[in-house]
């Protein structure tokens, strides 16, 4: 009970800072997403592929949240866009305060219109911490099992988009796509569900078009052809 | 800083209860393991397969930790052994107090000699909470990437055994087994690393023999043939 009260207090302070972050980002016309998933579901690979496809159309930056190491930030850096590493130490999620400290760095880069925040790999706590993003994007991979939405509902109900990733591995698993979609939509009927594979490139046309639209970028036919 | 002090306090209370649990389990000659991993790495499948192989040789029970649902407990129950579900709600890990409350249930079953605790799927916080177990067993699957030990070191340094699971999927991923082993042993040079596949049964002979020996069960040739 005591622990829960402490947690409520921490969360309400977090929400205040998140709201500040949100206003600061919106004032500058920066659309932002917060990517959440279990470790190893493919968030970094999805970001790398997304950056490669949209960076010519939209100035973007990435904030990488990790317990330890800057391995993911190094991967993103190769794509020639601004990347900021937040190392959380013993904390199993990013919070609004950590992101707040990264905003001066972000605003130091000219004309950024899209911010991707990669959260710590964890299906539980990241769902509870608003960072001030426009939307949370959940990722789950087909090797994790189709029951994940039922077992970790908070992450799925807090997200607007679900990417079901690594669909190239479908033939080698007993993952049931229809059951996974039903489970996810039972938790959150408004979820946009997309199926992706970083290996084959499947689903990235729809995903990138959705992002560009959400970020208010021009999505004319020229752009469509670029991301196909 | 304040948050860290609160956390230290919670952890030191946890350690006291864990020590009590440990003494109570040892008094009754119950060997116990605490299985930790990210969601979807295959902990429940490993437990199911392990139970099937060793239940004739050793009386065992399972405690299932989940945020929501008793889906995993239902899976274990089919094997005809005692299972207790702990639903943690918003808490991203089991703690010693939760397990303490399950001990009267456990001690109500006669002659249990081996307890498997399946923790909440999370690579971060479960590593910090001693439950009173004899050993932590970490699981990572080949689809999660070979860099996981570097990114989530606490789980690997707190564990005595690492099961690298889903090795049947190795041909379809870019997972480098040698690099994964090197990364894991760099974090914890004493780690026993075994490679497993629940689909093919690989590694279960060594894993079950190790468990039976650790639990002090007879591991004569008859047993060896049973688990082969």
Which tens digit of pLDDT belongs to each residue from A141-164?
999 999 999 999 999 999 999 999
Domain span at residue A96 reads 2-215
* pLDDT over 50 (residue A1): no
Report yes or no on A205 lying in a domain: yes
For the question of an ipTM over 0.85, the answer is yes
Report yes or no on B132 lying in a domain: yes
Report yes or no on B172 lying in a domain: yes
Q: What is the mean pLDDT of chain A?
A: 94
Report yes or no on B32 lying in a domain: yes
Where residue B134 falls (left for φ over 0; alpha for ψ -120 to 50; beta otherwise) is: alpha
Specify the DSSP class assigned to residue B41. S
Q: Which residues contact A1 (CB under 8 A, 6 or more apart)?
A: none
Report yes or no on A227 lying in a domain: no
With beta carbons less than 8 A apart as the criterion, state whether B135 and B22 touch: no
Report yes or no on B226 lying in a domain: no
**CATH, residue B151:** 3.40.50.300
Nearest CB among B10, B67, B148 relative to A40 is that of B148
Domains of chain A: total: 1
- A147 at interface of B, judged by CB pairs closer than 8 A: yes
Q: Which residues contact B123 (CB under 8 A, 6 or more apart)?
A: A39, A121, A122, B36, B37, B38, B148, B152, B155
* pLDDT over 50 (residue B152): yes
Specify the DSSP class assigned to residue B111. T
- A39 at interface of B, judged by CB pairs closer than 8 A: yes
Q: What is the pLDDT of residue B63?
A: 98
Q: How far apart are CA B35 and CA B47, in angstroms?
A: 9
Report yes or no on B130 lying in a domain: yes
Q: Please compute Rg for chain B using Cα positions.
A: 17
pTM, entire model? 0.92
Report yes or no on B187 lying in a domain: yes
With beta carbons less than 8 A apart as the criterion, state whether B145 and A166 touch: no
Report the SS3 class of residue B191. Answer: coil
- B146 at interface of A, judged by CB pairs closer than 8 A: no
**CB–CB of A141 and B40 under 8 A?**
yes
């Amino acid at each position: 009970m005591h622990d829960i009260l402490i947690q409520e207090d921490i969360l309400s302070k977090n929400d205040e800072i998140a709201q500040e972050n949100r206003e600061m980002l919106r004032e500058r016309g920066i659309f932002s997403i917060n990517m959440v998933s279990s470790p190893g579901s493919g968030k970094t690979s999805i970001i790398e592929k997304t950056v490669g496809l949209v960076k010519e159309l939209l100035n973007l930056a990435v904030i990488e949240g990790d317990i330890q190491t800057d391995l993911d930030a190094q991967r993103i850096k190769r794509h020639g866009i601004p990347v900021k590493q937040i190392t959380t130490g013993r904390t199993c999620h990013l919070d609004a305060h950590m992101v707040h400290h990264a905003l001066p760095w972000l605003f130091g880069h000219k004309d950024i219109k899209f911010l991707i925040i990669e959260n710590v790999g964890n299906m539980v706590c990241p769902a509870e911490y608003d960072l001030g993003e426009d939307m949370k994007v959940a990722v789950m991979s087909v090797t994790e099992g189709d029951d994940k939405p039922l077992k970790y509902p908070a992450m799925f109900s807090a997200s607007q988009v679900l990417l079901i990733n690594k669909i190239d591995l479908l033939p080698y698993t007993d993952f049931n796509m229809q059951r996974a979609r039903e489970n996810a939509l039972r938790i959150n009927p408004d979820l946009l569900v997309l199926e992706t594979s970083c290996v084959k490139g499947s689903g990235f046309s729809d995903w990138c078009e959705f992002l560009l639209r959400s970020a208010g970028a021009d999505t004319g036919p020229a752009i469509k052809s670029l991301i196909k």
